[in-house]
A and B are shown apart, each in its own frame.
Chain A
Amino acid sequence: MSYEPATAVLDEETHEAINIDRTKGDFTFPERHKFDAGRGLTEKTIDYICDVKKDPDWVREFRHKALKVFLEKPTPTHWATKDLENINFDEIRYYLSDGEKPKRSWDDVPADVLKTFERLGIPEQERAFLAGVEAQYDSEAAYSNMKEELTKLGVIFVNSAEGLREHEEIFRPWFGKVIPTGDNKYSALNSAVFSGGSFIYIPKGVKLKQPLQAYFRINSENFGQFERTLIIADEGAELMYMEGCTAPKFETATLHSAVVELVALKGAKIQYVTVQNWSSNVFNLVTKRGVAMEDAEVRWIDCNIGSRLTMKYPGVVMKGERARGEVISIALANTGQHQDTGAKMIHAANNTTSNVVSKSISVGEGRATYRGQVHIPKHLKGCRNNTECDALLINSHSRTDTYPAITVKGNQHATQHEASVSQVSEDMLFYMQQRGLNEGQAMSLAVNGFINDLVREFPMEYSVELKRLIDLEMEGSVG
């Protein structure tokens, strides 16, 4: 059969193409840390972080409690991959910073850090289409700025330490409430050592026309990045938040474990866009959840391209009537990668609706997993859920799994779940080649067609980028 040798060529070349893209973030500068909490995690590490960050006492207490929970909780390998056992928590450095405050102007940012973010195109994007940017380098933000008119409207966009210190009355009531410390082992770890991330408050009725962006960069080896994000959209407010991330490829594993909490009050809308492109030695264990009150909407738009192991299941708790939750996700798993992603939809009020659309592509020996939970309790009525999972297998040793769990109580609801697994069919490739495309172009077109309707959900700038990424991977791969 003609298909077999062709895939073999595509296999190797596809790998190369994907690596080309990932090298965008694969560079590093020498470390020059004023503050280094050392390796391993003890009570002392926590105190060190608290002292450097000048945390209020209640935060210190919160961190210490979280450490206990983290140490008590077992690694969840009874359902998750055994690869988690390869994380050596004693080797990781939990806090690294140069002790500088985040700068409001790129001119004040240290030269190597500026160079880093320029290579990643952040200042350029800020000028082009962003309302505000926070750029985090290891444990702390190097740059943080927002358009002036937004400050006048009362929008708050600060890092986590500043948020808890300066705006305690706004953030403390929701901090750790959407995702409690004990939610899982890694949320407890984050709660103990969190640093950086964005705390955002959008006042009543304020609708941001341009997105806010955060960019997370790991520069140091054996480092664990634990940013903490809390976004509160007050009644009728709207915003789009985007995050991107890269790290250089070190010899040893790096850990990224974030906690992201979203609160959409009555009628508010939050869209949270992630393009995750960590290098393939990063363990990316992230807990993300939003609460949607009456008529509010929380949308997670998620794209996972990088990392060694990603475990991420964005969730929405629909607490108010007619609230809406949505997760749109694209995952690309290459050899050596396991993208374990999914969604959690918890219906907690009448007439709430949720939608999950997940598409994954497994290349080489990559493994893509969808894990989902939909919960509709007994006393409610008129709840609806739609879940669609599609997986595309490119090579003969690619792997894909789907593990949804759907609980429906009562008869006034409707849920549907569908999943399919397929490969790019020989017929399809043959048909396109008949019309003059080479095999690489044909493969690229097929893959683009597979994810096209989801790519459109990403903001313009990202969707162009994503499409080009797929093109790059597939094109030139055979040709």
Chain B
Amino acid sequence: MTTTAPQTPAVFPAWFAARQHDAWERYLATPAPKRGDESWRFSNLKQLDFEGFSRNAGVSPASDLISRSTGLKKTAAKFIFSNDELVHSESSLPQGVICLPLAEALVSHGDLVAAHFMKQETRLGSAKFAAWHEASVSNGLFVHTGENAEIEGAIEVHHWISGANTVIFPHTLIITGKNSKVRVIDIFRSADDITPGLAIAFNDLSAGPNSQLDYIAIQALNEVTRIIHINETSTARDASAKGFILNIGASWARNECLSRLEGAGSRSDMLSVSVPAREQEYDQRTFQHHVSEGAYSDLLYKNSLYDNSRTIFSGLIFVDRDAHHTDAYQTCRNLLMSDTCEANSMPGLEINADQVKCSHGSTSSQIHDEEIFYLQARGIDPTSARQLIARGFSVEAVERLGDEATEEFVLGFIDDKFSHIASGGA
């Protein structure tokens, strides 16, 4: 890993420079994960060797990346970053909504950023890498909706990595005000299929009272790139936060999603679809923290595993002592599509309150021959039948997004992956 402290650009406020300085010290002082660490159980620690990666200016022509940054037909705003540099932006957001690249927001709305930027301790294992991110971050997206702002359509953000051994530190900071509504889609991609890259991404999502915050991450990096993606969500009274992660790319991806249900009556939906193939490895850790009473959280993670791929799911529902009347659910389902794949599940519960409804379930299974037979009897060949079932399996989680255009967009990536697998993989 890098050994020299990153330089905070001089235009950024002093508090931010100080934070970055402290974070770098913390990064150096924090030991790297080692065998026996419970939060890295089953993980492949060899993937954490980030030697030789550095920040680079974008090498791919911006115009090329901009033309490839296709997304929704209609967006509320669109940002395109190449190696954390803004190369394109457009916006039709209503007045009162602040939606800026983080580098700009740090200068123009420093106090707002300071109030919400990386406030929580990273608890799910990647504290060291979160510190690295904090010390190095220079850009990303900042959204502050204000009160009663319902944003039509989504804010779409493309993060491109280009150039050999490049590391990016994208940050997404979203604060929804009272009664407001926003949807943000992050798309992580590599400029080509053969250049190794690294992304250390971090989200701060804070849903204000009675607001609705939807966050979707589409990870479609090339298969020689790795990513650590840390997500911190908090919900105020009666707020609803929805987080969705799609993993189809990268050689190795680590997702850490923590949801803090801080307000009574709030709700958090944690969703994920992963379709690993070949040697891909996805390592997902989740935490549903019920701080306040009467909150609701529901997690659904679906993995379809092909070839020699490997997944790890470790989830915990944690109910604080006074968080009575909690409803918390957690489901991880693994569909095993080859006889050499490997699924690890650790669905956990820690309950300190009563009047609680909690359940978790984890299953791992293959497609039954009868199901294939049934579809064959209707004239569908076995390969298509298997794909049809695997797609249907993923769709269950995608449908929970509740927005047709977004669902269609996400399914497009899933279908790409399936056709990729059909042509070369399984």
A binds B: yes
Q: Report chain B residues within 8 Å CB of A394.
A: 354
Give the residue name and chain of the B residue nearest to A394 (CB): B354
A401 in contact with B321 (CB, 8 Å): no
Does A281 interact with chain B (Cβ within 8 Å)?
no
Q: Determine how close the nearest CB of chain B comes to the CB of A80; give it in whole angstroms.
A: 10
Question: Quick check: B359 and A405 within 8 Å, CB to CB?
Answer: no
CA distance A421 to B38 in the complex (A): 23
A10 to chain B, nearest CB (A): 12
Complex contact B336–A410 (CB within 8 A): yes
Residues of A within 8 A of B341 (CB): 409-411
Contact indicator A404/B38 (Cβ below 8 Å)? no
- Give the Cβ gap from A318 to chain B, nearest Cβ, in Å: 17
Partner of A406, one of B340, B362, B366: B362
Q: Decide: A419 and B349 in contact? CB cutoff 8 A.
A: yes
Contact A401 B350 (CB under 8 A): yes
Q: Is A305 an interface residue (CB 8 A)?
A: no
Instruction: Give the chain A neighbours of B351 by CB distance below 8 A.
Output: 391, 393, 399-401, 421
Smallest CB gap from B355: residue in A: A423
B89 at the interface (CB under 8 A from A): no
Bound together, the chains give a CA A479 to CA B398 distance in angstroms of 53
Given known contacts A78-B36, A402-B349, A417 and B355 CB-to-CB distance under 8 angstroms = no
- At the interface, yes or no: B110 with Cβ under 8 Å from chain A? no
Q: Which residue of A lies closest to B37 (CB)?
A: A78
Nearest-neighbor residue (CB-CB) of B324 within chain A: A396
How far is A400 from B36 in the complex, measured between Cα atoms in Å? Answer: 24
A406 touches B356 (CB 8 A): no
Q: Is A86 an interface residue, CB under 8 A from the partner?
A: no
A421 touches B349 (CB 8 A): yes
The contact of A395 among B336, B346, B349, B354, by CB within 8 Å, is B354
Q: How far is the CB of B200 from the nearest CB of chain A, in Å?
A: 25
Q: Which residue of A lies closest to B335 (CB)?
A: A411
List chain A residues, Cβ under 8 A from B343.
Answer: 406-409
Cβ of B423 within 8 Å of any chain A Cβ, yes or no, is: no
- In the complex, whether B358 has a CB less than 8 A from a CB of chain A is yes
Q: Is A418 an interface residue (CB 8 A)?
A: yes
Q: Are A421 and B321 in contact (CB under 8 A)?
A: no
Tell me the complex Cα distance, A473–B77, Å: 63
The answer to whether A417 and B336 touch (CB under 8 A), given A397-B321, A398-B354, A423-B355, is no
The reply on B8 being an interface residue by CB < 8 A is no
Decide if B356 touches A423 in the complex (CB within 8 Å).
yes
- Whether A421 touches B36, Cβ cut-off 8 Å, given contacts A396-B324, A403-B346, A406-B344, is no
Q: Complex Cα distance A397/B344, Å? A: 32
Q: What residue in chain A is nearest B321 (Cβ atoms)?
A: A397
Closest Cβ–Cβ distance, residue B184 to chain A (whole Å) = 33
Contact of A402 among B337, B347, B353 (CB under 8 A): B347
Contacts known (A404-B348, A407-B343); A413 close to B364, Cβ less than 8 A: yes
Residues from chain A with Cβ under 8 Å of B345 in the complex: 404-406, 417
Contact among A378, A396, A409, A421 for B358, CB-based, below 8 A: A421
Indicate whether A105 reaches chain B with its CB closer than 8 angstroms. Answer: no
Least Cβ–Cβ distance between B389 and chain A, in angstroms: 13
A396-B354, A415-B364, A421-B356 in contact; A408/B348 too (CB < 8 A)? no
Q: Which residues of A have CB within 8 Å of B342? A: 378, 407-410
| B365 interfacial contact with A, CB 8 Å | yes
Taking the complex as formed, is A414 at the interface, i.e. its CB lies under 8 A from any CB of chain B? yes
Q: Are B352 and A405 in contact (CB under 8 A)?
A: no
Q: A401-B349, A401-B351 are in contact. Are A411 and B339 (CB under 8 A)?
A: yes
A411 in contact with B337 given A397-B321, A405-B344, A406-B345 (CB within 8 Å): yes
A410-B341, A421-B359 given; A397·B352 CB < 8 A = yes
B75 interface hit (Cβ, 8 Å):
no
B363 contacts the other chain (Cβ, under 8 Å)?
yes
Q: How far is the CB of A66 from chain B (nearest CB, A)?
A: 22
B363: which A residues are within 8 A, CB to CB?
Answer: 414-417
Contacts A399-B352, A423-B356: A414 and B346 contacting too (C-beta < 8 A)? no
A453 to chain B, nearest CB (A): 18
Closest Cβ of chain B to A401, distance in Å, is: 4
* Chain A contacts for B324, CB-based, 8 A: 396
* Interface residue? A434 (CB, 8 A): no
Q: Digitize A370-395: 1 where CB-to-B-CB distance is under 8 Å, 0 elsewhere.
A: 00000000100100000000010111
**26 residue pairs A–B, Cβ–Cβ below 8 Å:** A378-B342, A391-B349, A394-B354, A400-B349, A400-B350, A400-B351, A401-B349, A402-B360, A404-B346, A404-B347, A405-B42, A406-B344, A409-B340, A410-B340, A410-B341, A410-B342, A411-B338, A413-B365, A414-B366, A415-B364, A418-B360, A421-B349, A421-B351, A421-B358, A422-B356, A422-B358
Task: List residues of chain A with CB under 8 Å of any chain B CB.
Answer: 78-79, 378, 381, 391, 393-423
